[in-house]
Amino acid sequence: MINYISSSIHNYLAWWLPMSPILIVLIVGCIMQLLKVITDSIKYKRFFRWNILSSWWFPSFHSWLASSVTTLVLLKSGFGSIEFAVAFAFAVLFAYDAMNLRYEAWLHAHYINDLRYELQDVLIKKEHSILKERIWHLPLEVLWWIILWTLLTFIFYYLFFLK
């Protein structure tokens, strides 16, 4: 039954959309960006259309990209390949950046914004632009999204690329 459904979907999409690894990565990315808008809209009970292109909160663009590409390399070249080792190393680097380096940048933005609030009577300006504070990711957020990106990449790979 699952084979029939997979084959039917593949045949329908192959008619107008030839599937390639780069297309899988782009489709996964579009789904992740849409999920960002949906989760923010549910969380804040307000529609944020600009989140489709935003770099804050999750999923992090570079993390989903690295996870999806790493999964494709694993599926195509195997666990023991040098290509997978390189892709995996970069995916870990991006996840580390999302959790740690961005956390430090958040601390700096938070302290600077606190100083601006304390000095706002002294600083009389027409335009007050607040620095973006929430640019880091919790380890659980990164793990959750890596699992989701990997599963989506597996699904698209087996549905469309192996046929």
Least confident of 11-15, 42-46, 61-65, 98-102: 11-15
**pLDDT class of 152 with cuts at 50, 70, 90:** confident
Instruction: Tell me the residue range of the domain where 8 lies.
Output: 2-161
145 token code pair: 């999204």
- % residues pLDDT > 90 (the chain): 13
- CB neighbours of 130 closer than 8 A, spacing ≥ 6? 113, 116
pLDDT at 149: 82
pLDDT at 90: 92
**14 Ramachandran zone, left/alpha/beta (phi>0; psi -120 to 50):** alpha
pTM for the model stands at 0.59
Local structure of 80: helix, strand or coil: coil
**pLDDT class of 106 with cuts at 50, 70, 90:** confident
Averaged pLDDT of the chain: 78
What's the structural domain count of the chain? 1
Average pLDDT, integer, range 27-33: 81
- % residues pLDDT > 70 (the chain): 75
Q: Which residue has the higher pLDDT, 76 or 24?
A: 76
pLDDT at 39: 78
20 token code pair: 């390639």
Q: At what angle do helices 82-96 and 61-77 cross, to 10 degrees?
A: 160
pLDDT tens column, 53-102: 665 555 567 777 888 899 999 999 999 999 999 999 999 988 888 777 77
Q: At what angle do helices 139-156 and 21-44 cross, to 10 degrees?
A: 140
